[in-house]
Structure 1
Amino acid sequence: MSAPPFQPGDRVRLVDASPAPGSKRRPAHPMDRDLIVARISGDSVEVRGVPGFWRAAVREGLMARGVSFPLLSAHRVSPDDDEDFYPTPPWAARAGGERILALDPRARSAWEPACGAGHMVHGLTDYFAVVHASDAWPYDGNRILDFTGPADGAPRADWIVTNPPFNQAEAFIRLGWERARRGLALLMKISALESVGRHGLLTCDCPLTMVMPFAERVPMHKGRWEPEGSTAAFYAWFVWLKPALRPERFMARTPDGGRVAGTWPIPPKTRDRLTRPDDAGRFGVGSRP
């Protein structure tokens, strides 16, 4: 049996091989979606992005619970395929790293689990001795790992620091809170504070320690970083300290004696102060004057 003609990082689509009764069309199925080739061993292909109970090796089609799914197509993934790739300006990453060390001077390692092309990682390396970089998509040498999937083999770090995909923010909060040793920091739009459903998550399930809104705009654009770009969006660092670090020290007290997230604004001119001369050139864009 010959090895499948795919490489790690290729995207494959699998569909149910059995037609519906009386129909030549294949029925809809949970597996009818794009998956990522993670590893090739002999004549097997292991894919990511599959719910846990469907995980299996691909051998001339995927065998899972007795149902066969043939591989229909595959193509090399590029950043253009990632709908959630909005690079973080390195200066904004440094602002987060600076604040994390102010709250937790003993922090030594960080994990960026949605690293993209490495913009956030580039900024965080100024503040952490070790920065692990992974993403559900292959970019430039990053580890391929779906943060919302099984934790097997995932890095262990003091802090998890990232700009999460917007539609997976709640999953990143819950999993980050669970997996980080010392704390979690997410760069998100301030609107992440909204919604009745999220209120319990941020106040009870995973109590938010501090919100650090940027006084300046943090421009993010799909698929690219524009150093001189602009945006109407309002971003902030959302920070959670694990209980061992006594997060209540940094939280605000309410009139009834309770605790809620404190606020620590990131002041104007942070962009100028934390932009490095090599930032733009490193990512192939024009330098700031």
Structure 2
Amino acid sequence: MTIQNTSSAVMSQRRSPPRALDYFPTPPWATRALLEHVNIRAGSGGQGEGMVPWELLTAWEPACGEGHMARVLAERFGKVVASDVFDYGIGASVYDFLGAGGLAAAPPPVERPDFIITNPPFSVGQAFVERALEIATHGVAMLVRTAFLESADRYDLFKTHPPSAVAQFSGRVPMVMGRLDPAASSATAYCWIVWRPPVLKWARDKYGHTGIIAPHLFWIPPDARARLERPGDYPAQAEGGLL
């Protein structure tokens, strides 16, 4: 995985990102829930072929923050590339996934990854989805608030790019701005939305479907956190993080 310098000493020296970046670190168990409960590799071997082994697949996490999601992805994927528009001091690439501002001319850390998987800033979540669908060759998975499924603008997004699956968390996924907190609570509901571009292209080519293709909707069990948390998931946090 292309993250270095992840010792507690380096982590404790990070600068807090601007509030405008909408940084809510993902509890590691929530990423493991994706890998365990959602068959994101379906169709990754091509129509009618078997799934590509995990160790042959590359995942890009383009809003990696302090690397909590990227490290979990590395438990399965053969290669994980981590980047963020802000330098959190963990050795990840500093890159603007949406190609704006002074980083627009920087080369991407990976050109055509198999998967793009991230927890995007809510305010630019749709732009992250659209950009990811242009780049990923096998699939896109976004951890978003369930409210992301609403709105007229995103209706057009889902009509043009219908998801393959929506995996709703039955329990809450507690997230706190600027830090990972195992004691946090939340009233906000989250889900994973997954797109598998090769499968969708095959369906459109075969059936000429222009309406919304019904995604596979299911629920991640409420015991997911209890089953999927691991020792060391919550490193010591720096003092004075975002509150």
The normalised TM-score by structure 2 is 0.75
Determine helix, strand or coil for the equivalent of 2:70. Answer: helix
How far apart, CA to CA, are the structure 1 residues paired with 2:81 and 2:127? 19
Pick the aligned partner of 1:95 from 33, 47, 52: 33
Q: Is the 8 A contact 1:89 1:119 kept in 2?
A: yes
Whichever residue aligns with residue 128 of structure 2, its letter is F
Residue in structure 2 matched with residue 196 of structure 1 by the alignment: 152
What are the equivalent positions in structure 2 for 1:61-76 lying under 5 Å apart?
A: none
How far apart, CA to CA, are the structure 2 residues paired with 1:193 and 1:153? 29
Higher relative helix content? 2
Q: What displacement does 1:228 show?
A: 2.2
Residue in structure 2 matched with residue 220 of structure 1 by the alignment: 175
CA deviation digits over 1:257-288, x for unaligned, max 9? 962222021111111111111212xx215xxx
Residue in structure 2 matched with residue 119 of structure 1 by the alignment: 68
How far apart, CA to CA, are the structure 2 residues paired with 1:100 and 1:154? 26
Residue in structure 1 matched with residue 135 of structure 2 by the alignment: 179
Higher relative strand content? 1
How far apart, CA to CA, are the structure 1 residues paired with 2:74 and 2:200? 23
Determine helix, strand or coil for the equivalent of 1:79. Answer: coil
Determine helix, strand or coil for the equivalent of 1:260. Answer: coil
Residue in structure 2 matched with residue 135 of structure 1 by the alignment: 84
Q: What displacement does 1:152 show?
A: 3.4
Determine helix, strand or coil for the equivalent of 1:272. Answer: helix
Q: Is the 8 A contact 1:203 1:260 kept in 2?
A: no
Q: Is the 8 A contact 1:182 1:245 kept in 2?
A: no
Whichever residue aligns with residue 133 of structure 2, its letter is W
State whether structure 2 residue 220 is matched by structure 1 residue 270: no
Residue in structure 2 matched with residue 42 of structure 1 by the alignment: none
CA deviation digits over 1:219-267, x for unaligned, max 9? 000011111211000000000001357786xxxxxxxx96222202111
Aligned pair in 2 of structure 1 residues 279, 168: CA closer, same or farther (>3 Å)?
A: same
What are the equivalent positions in structure 2 for 1:126-165 lying under 5 Å apart?
A: 126-139=75-88, 140-149=90-99, 150=104, 152-155=107-110, 156-165=112-121
Whichever residue aligns with residue 141 of structure 1, its letter is G
Q: Which has the higher contact order (CA 8 A, sep 6+)?
A: 2
CA deviation digits over 1:91-116, x for unaligned, max 9? 00111223244635425111000000
**Pairs aligned (count):** 199
How far apart, CA to CA, are the structure 1 residues paired with 2:212 and 2:18? 45
User: Percent identity over the alignment?
Assistant: 40
Whichever residue aligns with residue 260 of structure 1, its letter is A
Determine helix, strand or coil for the equivalent of 1:229. Answer: coil
Whichever residue aligns with residue 190 of structure 2, its letter is Y
Aligned pair in 2 of structure 1 residues 193, 247: CA closer, same or farther (>3 Å)?
A: farther
Aligned pair in 2 of structure 1 residues 138, 219: CA closer, same or farther (>3 Å)?
A: same
The normalised TM-score by structure 1 is 0.64
Aligned pair in 2 of structure 1 residues 244, 215: CA closer, same or farther (>3 Å)?
A: closer
How far apart, CA to CA, are the structure 1 residues paired with 2:74 and 2:186? 26
Residue in structure 2 matched with residue 78 of structure 1 by the alignment: 15
Whichever residue aligns with residue 63 of structure 2, its letter is A
CA deviation digits over 1:79-137, x for unaligned, max 9? 24254111000000111223244635425111000000011112211121111000000
Whichever residue aligns with residue 93 of structure 1, its letter is T
Bigger radius of gyration among the two:
1
Aligned pair in 2 of structure 1 residues 185, 101: CA closer, same or farther (>3 Å)?
A: closer
How far apart, CA to CA, are the structure 1 residues paired with 2:182 and 2:201? 37
CA RMSD, 1 decimal: 2.2
